[in-house]
C-alpha cells in the first residue's frame, strides 16, 4: 500500500540473506529518494543480483524489511507489480513470440488497452532500433536484441521505480547513449527512481547521483569505502581503483604474466 507520509522510493533496513552457509547480504540498510539514480556496484559474486531480486520481490530474504514507494515488498510483493519495472540478469522472455507480440502482451498484463499497448510498443521498438525484426520470433534474436526487448518490457507500463540488473550488457553503444539520456530525463523530469547494477564504471559515472559498493555482505557508500581502503578521495579514477583493490586483480595478473618467457 502506498503511504502518504513516505517520501523515499526505496527503503531497505537490516536486509540479510544467506545461501546455505554463505552470508551474502549482512544487514544492509539503504534509502533511495524519488528521482535518484542509484548505482549498486561490487565485484562478481558480491550479492548485487541477490539484493536486486530481494528488492524486486522475487526473493524472500531471511530477514529485514524492504519498502518500495511505501509497499512492504517482503509481505506483499505483487502489490508493486504495476509500479516497478525490472530487468533481471537472465533475460527470460517467451521466445516463441515476436517482440511486437511480447511487448503488447506485457502492456495488457499491466492494464493498458489495445491501442495504448500498440503505440507504446511501437515507440519502444523505434527507440531501441528493433523494428526490422519486431515480427520475427524472439528465439532468433541476438543476445543484445533480447536484452533490448527485456528493457522495453520494463518500461512499457511507465513504472515509477526501475530495478535494472546489468541492463546494458550486450547492447550497442548508440542505444546505450539513448537509454542513458532517457533514464536521466525520467529521473530529473518525472522523478522516476532508478536502481541499477553495472560493471562498466563509465555508465555509472554518466548516470548515477549516488553509488554504493557491496563488499563482504556489507553495503558501503562509495566515498566511505574509498577512505577505508585509502584510495584517493573523490578522484575520477577512484572507483576503478577501488573495484580493482576489492577484487585483487593486480597480483593475479602478475602471476599469469610470469608464465610467459620474455620475448624480444
Ligand atoms: N540461487 C542461489 N543459490 C545458491 N547460491 C547463490 C544463488 N544465487 C546466488 N548465489 C550466490 O550468492 C553470491 C552472490 O551472487 P549474486 O548473483 O548476487 O552476485 P552479483 O554481485 O550479482 O555477481 P555478478 O557481478 O557476477 O553478477 C554468489 O556467491 C552466488 O554464488
Ligand atoms: Mg549479478
> How far does the centroid of ligand 1 lie from the alpha carbon of residue 47, in Å?
5
Q: What is this structure's pTM?
A: 0.90
- Protein residue whose Cα sits closest to atom 30 of ligand 1: 45
What pLDDT does 258 receive?
A: 82
Distance 70 CA to ligand 2 centre (A): 26
CB of 49 sitting under 6 A from ligand 1: yes
Instruction: Name the CATH code of domain 8-83+159-257 (choices 3.20.20.140, 3.40.50.300, 3.40.50.1460, 3.30.43.10).
Output: 3.40.50.300
- What is the distance in A from the centroid of ligand 1 to the CA of 164? 16
Rounded Cα distance between 63 and 134, Å, is 43
Crossing angle of helices 99-109 and 114-127, in 10° steps, is 130
User: Inter-axis angle of helices 249-257 and 238-247, to 10 degrees?
Assistant: 70
Residue 107 cell numbers, joined: 502492456
Beta partners for 12?
30, 66
Chain segment 184-231, per-residue pLDDT in tens? 999 999 999 999 999 888 888 889 989 999 988 999 888 777 777 666
Q: Which atom in ligand 1 lies closest to the alpha carbon of residue 46? A: 21
Q: What is the pLDDT of residue 3?
A: 44
What pLDDT, on the 0 to 100 scale, is given for residue 253?
A: 75
- CA distance linking residue 247 with residue 62, whole number of Å: 27
User: Is the CB of 19 inside a 6 Å radius of any atom of ligand 1?
Assistant: yes
pLDDT score, position 164: 96
Residue recorded with cell 563482504: 216
Check pocket membership of 47 for ligand 1, CB cut-off 6 A: yes
Neighbours of ion ligand 2 (CB under 5 A): 48-49, 89
Assigned C-alpha cell, 73: 515488498
| Substitution candidate for ligand 1 out of 47, 59, 62 with most atoms within 8 A of CB | 47
Report the interhelical angle of 222-229 vs 238-247 (nearest 10°).
60
- The rounded distance, in Å, linking the Cα atoms of 180 and 188 is 12
Q: Which ligand is nearest to the CA of 40?
A: 1
pLDDT given for residue 246 in this prediction: 72
Domain boundaries, given as residue ranges, for the chain: 8-83+159-257
Residue 27 CA to ligand 1 center (angstroms) comes to: 17
Q: Three-state secondary structure along the chain?
A: CCCCCCCEEEEEEEEEEEECCEEEEEEEEEEEECCCEEEEECCCCCCHHHHHHHHHCCCCCCEEEEEECCEECCCCHHHHCCCEEEECCCCCCCCCCEHHHHHHHHHHHCCCCHHHHHHHHHHHHHHCCCHHHCCCEHHHCCHHHHHHHHHHHHHCCCCCEEEEECCCCCCCHHHHHHHHHHHHHHHHHHCCEEEEECCCHHHHHHHCCEEEEEECCEEEEHHHHHHHHCCCCCCCCHHHHHHHHHHCHHHHHHHHHCCCCCCC
As a whole number of angstroms, the distance between CA 129 and CA 147 comes to 12
Low-confidence stretches of the chain (pLDDT < 50) are: 1-4
The answer, yes or no, to whether any atom of ligand 1 lies below 6 A from the CB of 45, is yes
Q: What is the pLDDT of residue 251?
A: 66
Question: Which residue's CA lies nearest to atom 26 of ligand 1?
Answer: 44
Evaluate: CB of 48 within 6 angstroms of ligand 1.
Answer: yes
Measured in Å, residue 42 CA sits from the centre of ligand 1 at: 12
Inter-helix orientation angle 99-109/143-155, to 10°: 20
* Cell numbers 520470433: residue: 137
Amino acid at each position: 500500500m502506498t503511504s502518504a507520509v513516505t517520501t523515499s522510493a526505496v527503503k531497505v533496513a537490516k536486509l540479510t540473506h544467506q545461501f546455505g552457509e554463505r552470508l551474502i547480504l549482512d544487514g544492509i540498510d539503504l534509502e533511495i529518494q524519488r528521482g535518484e539514480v542509484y548505482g549498486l556496484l561490487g565485484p562478481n559474486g558480491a550479492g548485487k543480483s541477490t539484493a536486486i531480486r530481494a528488492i524486486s520481490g522475487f526473493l524472500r530474504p531471511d530477514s529485514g524489511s524492504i519498502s518500495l514507494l511505501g509497499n512492504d515488498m517482503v509481505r506483499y510483493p505483487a502489490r508493486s507489480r504495476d509500479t516497478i519495472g525490472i530487468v533481471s540478469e537472465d533475460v527470460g522472455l517467451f521466445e516463441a513470440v515476436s517482440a511486437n507480440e511480447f511487448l503488447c502482451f506485457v502492456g495488457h498484463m499491466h492494464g493498458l488497452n489495445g491501442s495504448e499497448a500498440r503505440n507504446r510498443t511501437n515507440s519502444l521498438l523505434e527507440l531501441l532500433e528493433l523494428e526490422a525484426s519486431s515480427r520475427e520470433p524472439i528465439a532468433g534474436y541476438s543476445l543484445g536484441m533480447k536484452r533490448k526487448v527485456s528493457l522495453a518490457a520494463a518500461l512499457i507500463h511507465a513504472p515509477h521505480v526501475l530495478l535494472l540488473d546489468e541492463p546494458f550488457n550486450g547492447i550497442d553503444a548508440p542505444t546505450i547513449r539513448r537509454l542513458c539520456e532517457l533514464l536521466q530525463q525520467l529521473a530529473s523530469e518525472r522523478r522516476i527512481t532508478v536502481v541499477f547494477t553495472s560493471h562498466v564504471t563509465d555508465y555509472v559515472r554518466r548516470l548515477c547521483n549516488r553509488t554504493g559498493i557491496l563488499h563482504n555482505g556489507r553495503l558501503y557508500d562509495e566515498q566511505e569505502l574509498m577512505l577505508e581502503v585509502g584510495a584517493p578521495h573523490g578522484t575520477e579514477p577512484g572507483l576503478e581503483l577501488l573495484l580493482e583493490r576489492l577484487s585483487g586483480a593486480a597480483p593475479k595478473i602478475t602471476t599469469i604474466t610470469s608464465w610467459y618467457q620474455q620475448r624480444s
